[in-house]
Every structure is written in C-alpha cells, then in structure tokens.
Chain A
Amino acid sequence: MTDYLPSLPTIVALVKIGLLIGGLMTAAAYLVLVERWMAAWVQDRKGPNRVGIPLTKVRLFGLGQPLADGLKIILKEDFTPKHVDKVLYTAAPLVILAASLAIFAAIPFGSSLPPIPALGLAGEEPLLVAPGLDVGVLWVFALSSIAVYGVLLGGWASNNKYGFLGGLRSSAQLVAYEIPLGLGLLGVVLAAGSLKLDTIMNAQASTGVWYAFAQPLGFIVFLVAAFAEAARLPFDLPEAEQELVGGYHTEYSGIKLLLFLVAEFLHMVTAAFLIVIMFLGGWHLWGVTGSGPVETWTVALLRFAVLSAKILGVILFFMLVRWSWPRFRFDQLMNLAWKVMLPLGLVNLVTVAAIEEFRPQLVAAVGEGAAKTAAIAIPWVVFFVGWIAAGMLTPSGTDNTPIRTHGPLDIEHELVEV
C-alpha cells in the first residue's frame, strides 16, 4: 500500500540534504556580512548596520543586509557578452557551485542524533548525508579538485585576457597546493587509520589529543594549503583585483557572479570544516563533550554546538588574516608550495609513519604514559627543526635589485647612433 512512498532512509537523507543546503546558503549569505563587519572593524569603521527588517525602520544591527545584497545581485541584469563561449560560460558557475556543495555529502556537520523510536529510527542517526561512505576524505579531495574546472572554464570561456590569466594562475595555484594539502591529510589518515571523517573525529575524541597537537607540522602545512585552496588572502591570486580586475569572473554579472561568489565562500567553509574535523578535534572539547555513543539530545546538541563554534572560530581567523598579511607574489607562492610546504609535508608524513610503526616497541620500552608523551614531543621537535631548516635553506625569493648597467629608459645613446 505504501509502495509509492520513499523508504525511511531516503526521507532522512533528503531531510539532511535540505537542512545542509539551506543552512550552507544562509551561512554563506551571513558570512558575507560577517566578512564586511570584520573588514570594517579592522579599518576602524562600523560596517553595515542599517538594513534590518524590510519595509520597517527596525535596523537590527544590519542583519537584513544579506537579503538586500542577494536581492540586488539577483535582480541585476545577467549580461552575457557576445564574445564568450556560451555553453562553457554558463556551465562554469554551475560546475563550481555543484562541486562545492557536493563536497558536504561526506562532511559530518555534527556528531549524531540519539535514537528516535517515534519516527522509526532505532539507532543513532549520524549527522552526515552519506554515512555509509568509507572514503569520505577521498570524496572531499576529489570534489575540491573539480572546483578547479569551474575556475578554469570560467576564465577560458570568458574570452578575456584578465579572465584567462586569472584562470591560469588559479589552476596553477590550486594544483600546486593540492599536494601539501594531501600530505597534511595523509598524516591524519595514517594516524587515525581511516578515510572516514567520522572515525577521524572519534579517534581524536577517544584519545583526547587533537591532531593539531600530535602533528603540528602537518597542521601548519594543511592550514596554509587550505588557505591557498580556498583562494583566500594571502593567496588570492586567482582574482587579484589590482592586477586582474576580477580574475576568472571578470566577465560575469548578476546571478552567475553570485554563484561564483557563493562557491568561493563555500570553499572557505569547507576548508574550515576540514581543519576543525581533522586537526582541531571536531566536536570534541575536553570536559564538555567526551567520546562515546550519543544517548541524549543534550550530548547531541552540545557536540553540534562545539563543532559549529570551532568552525566559526576558524572562519573568523580566515577573515582576520585577510587584513593582516600582504599577498604573496606568484613566484613566492610557487616557491612556498614546492620548496617549503611539499618537503615539510613529507617530513611530517615520515614522522607520523615512523611513530605509528614503532609505537608498540616504544610502549614496550618506556611504558604507556611515556610513549604517549614521546609521540607528542617528537613531532614538536621535528616541527621546530623542520621550520627553522625550511626558513634557512629555502631561497628567500628572487633578486629584486634593478639592473643598473642598462635600464629601460637608457636609450639615449642608441638614438644618437641612429
């Protein structure tokens, strides 16, 4: 009789997808407001504080601003220039947004809900769209690479110098930083012994040692690479306004531009999620949320709150960094990726592998407690040594001194000879 109704797991999955996409879109809109506030506060201004409830004079600290911004950009003319490749031009924003939303299928946005017998949910319901996916990290990594296609397609299809250069730069940057990103990630996967983000969080919760403390070098490498992958300052070369107008989305306007901008914010949110889940303990906080099954709603909500607070903190850090550090030049960016982050990532990976391999021998030799301390102390020693070595050994960049023997303006003698 109820054959035509979707099964319970389907309904649950659809509800989760709805919650996640709705939540992410709202979050992206409000993060734009937060970003503008941060920018204003850092510059000693007050920031948007006028728009409140529409059609009233209630201001609400400017909380209506995202609605106004969204309406404005949606109602703007969606102009398609004559010289673009129409199919690719339209596909690019869709590709980038779809990819950055699909990533969240494998990212847990909380721990799990306690059993709800009334709805027929007998077990814990994990707050994750695709809970059965064993290769969550791979999924995230693969889809974040697809975002490069969106950027490259947008730049190429625009048929515009700035767009093309932005697309090229962007692809070079994103491809280069995927390697340190992957190396930072491998250390965590190795230590947790799983590609599931859930398991990685549980591993940190059960030992109480977040991977940021156990693998400081991996954390730094991953953090820097995540900044570059999200194209945030100091690595925002894909759309360096001063040089490239808007970069790969120079030719875009209206709702297509909005899709690009939302996708960019989602990249930042994804990066924050990954940093928190893999290195900052996810929903775990000492004394507040411990490991173990979720039996009550209090535990479930507390874990959700801790995770959200951590993610917000990381996002605020992203926004603060934007106004703190100057942008890297392109050659410096590449130097950092290939000559600093790649070796450091490898060093971290080898350290983690060695510790995991020799842990039983270590425990047998010095006992459980001392082995645990050593497993944290050794990576920190490696971290400082590696950092200083990288600082001392890597070239500090190109020689910026002008060539004095023959400058670009020194053509007078040539004119005389002619």
Chain B
Amino acid sequence: MKPTDPAITWLEEKPLGLAERLYLPLFVGGLATTARHLVSPKVTVSFPEQRPTVGNPLIYRGVHRLNRDEEGRVKCVACFLCATACPAHCIDIVATESPWPDREKYPESFQIDELRCIFCGMCEEACPVDAIELTSLLDLTGKSREEMIFDKEKLLSVYDMTKDAEPMKSASLGGTL
C-alpha cells in the first residue's frame, strides 16, 4: 500500500500546547497516576493460601472426571468418540463387552494422559452420553509421568470427589440424558 493510497486517513499531530512544552503538568499527571496505583488494592492472588475464584465451574476446563449413572456404574459406553475427537491423542480406551443389558460395550480400561491433554474440552463436546466431563479443579500436579496418567478408577474418584460441588452438567444444561 502506498502512502498516497486513498484508503489511508492521515492524521495530523496536534501542535504542543504550553502545558506540554513546559513538561511539568504531564510529569505531575504521571506521578499522580503511579502514586494512586501505589496504594490501590492489589489484584495478586497468593495462590497456595488463597484459591483463585473460578468464574463459572460449568464452563471451566480443569481436570477430567468419568461420571457414574444412578446405579453407580461408569456411564461410558466405550464408543471412542472422545478419543477420536481428542486433538492431543491423550485418551486411550480398551473396550469390552458390557455385562449389563442396557449397553453393548463398556470401557475395560480408560486412561487419560493429563500431561498430553491440552484441556480443550473436545472430549466433553463429543461424548454422546455425557460420561466425560471437565471439572473446575485447576491445580493438577504430580511427581512422575506415570502418576499423571489417570486411569478409570482415578477418573471415577474425581467424580466422587466433585459430584457434590459440581453436579453433572447434563441436568443443568439440558443435555442428552
């Protein structure tokens, strides 16, 4: 694009007034701003002692959980939709024939590598039975890589841990179940 292009609107710089030429009013203004911020309330969250507030837990994308149905069984039907949707390929499911009459398959093993996960929430979107959900747990730490691969029991225990604070999203959001 040329400087003469009609699409460009050239703005003239305003000539400096007396106040600007004397520097002083602007210097005082700058100092006043910093002095005000010096004493204003701080926004820092002192993390381990002070928990950050999660705006809306329903849409927060933290640690995964595997939901249970009314009978306490894992809700998952091992359809592999979440594993297919996952852009980070962090979900590993081994399906087997279901012992229950209401579904054909269920996951014999269900593993999520939390270190590979990018917490995009695609698995949650993809799940047809609302079995996998992202909670608002945000401080996910571990001492080894192995520890960070969450298996079925661990994911179910996350559900047991968070079900009271965060009920299944399907009910409140009008999900499929």
Chain A positions near chain B (C-beta within 8 angstroms): 38, 40-46, 49, 320-321, 323-325, 387-388, 391-392, 396, 400-407, 409-410, 412
Contacting A at CB under 8 A, from B4-53, are 4, 10, 12-13, 16, 18, 20-24, 27, 30-31, 33-35, 37-44, 46
CB A212 to nearest CB in B, in angstroms, measures 16
> Contacts of B42 on A, CB cut-off 8 Å?
41, 44-46
Contact A320 B34 (CB under 8 A): yes
Give 10 CB contacts A-B under 8 Å: A44-B41, A45-B44, A320-B34, A320-B38, A324-B27, A325-B30, A388-B22, A396-B20, A405-B3, A409-B3
Contact B3 A324 (CB under 8 A): no
CB B131 to nearest CB in A, in angstroms, measures 41
- Given A388-B22, A391-B23, verify A41-B1 contact (CB < 8 Å): no
Contact B13 A400 (CB under 8 A): yes
Contacting A at CB under 8 A, from B26-84, are 27, 30-31, 33-35, 37-44, 46
Contact B4 A321 (CB under 8 A): no
CB B73 to nearest CB in A, in angstroms, measures 45
- A410–B34 Cα distance when bound, in Å, is 43
Query: Which among A45, A323, A388, A391 is the interface contact of B34 at CB below 8 angstroms?
Result: A323
Query: Which among A38, A43, A410 is the interface contact of B2 at CB below 8 angstroms?
Result: A410
Which A residue's beta carbon lies closest to that of B33? A324
- Given A321-B31, A324-B31, verify A44-B4 contact (CB < 8 Å): no
- A38–B35 Cα distance when bound, in Å, is 10
- Given A404-B3, A404-B4, A407-B3, verify A43-B27 contact (CB < 8 Å): no
- A404–B24 Cα distance when bound, in Å, is 34
Contacting A at CB under 8 A, from B75-133, are none
Contact B23 A409 (CB under 8 A): no
CB B17 to nearest CB in A, in angstroms, measures 10
Which size bracket describes the interface of B in this complex?
A: 20 to 34
Contact A396 B27 (CB under 8 A): no
Contact A46 B22 (CB under 8 A): no
> Contacts of B4 on A, CB cut-off 8 Å?
404-405, 410
> Contacts of B3 on A, CB cut-off 8 Å?
402-407, 409-410
Contact B46 A46 (CB under 8 A): yes
CB A102 to nearest CB in B, in angstroms, measures 33
Which B residue's beta carbon lies closest to that of A326? B30
Which B residue's beta carbon lies closest to that of A397? B16
CB B42 to nearest CB in A, in angstroms, measures 5
Contact A44 B22 (CB under 8 A): no
Which A residue's beta carbon lies closest to that of B19? A391
- A400–B16 Cα distance when bound, in Å, is 13
- A42–B16 Cα distance when bound, in Å, is 28
Contact B35 A320 (CB under 8 A): yes
- A392–B20 Cα distance when bound, in Å, is 10
> Contacts of B12 on A, CB cut-off 8 Å?
401
Which A residue's beta carbon lies closest to that of B44? A46
Which A residue's beta carbon lies closest to that of B31? A324
Query: Which among A323, A391, A406, A412 is the interface contact of B18 at CB below 8 angstroms?
Result: A391
CB B72 to nearest CB in A, in angstroms, measures 42
> Contacts of B22 on A, CB cut-off 8 Å?
387-388, 391
Which A residue's beta carbon lies closest to that of B38? A41
> Contacts of A402 on B, CB cut-off 8 Å?
3
Query: Which among B1, B21, B33, B43 is the interface contact of A391 at CB below 8 angstroms?
Result: B21
- Given A41-B38, A44-B43, verify A409-B2 contact (CB < 8 Å): yes
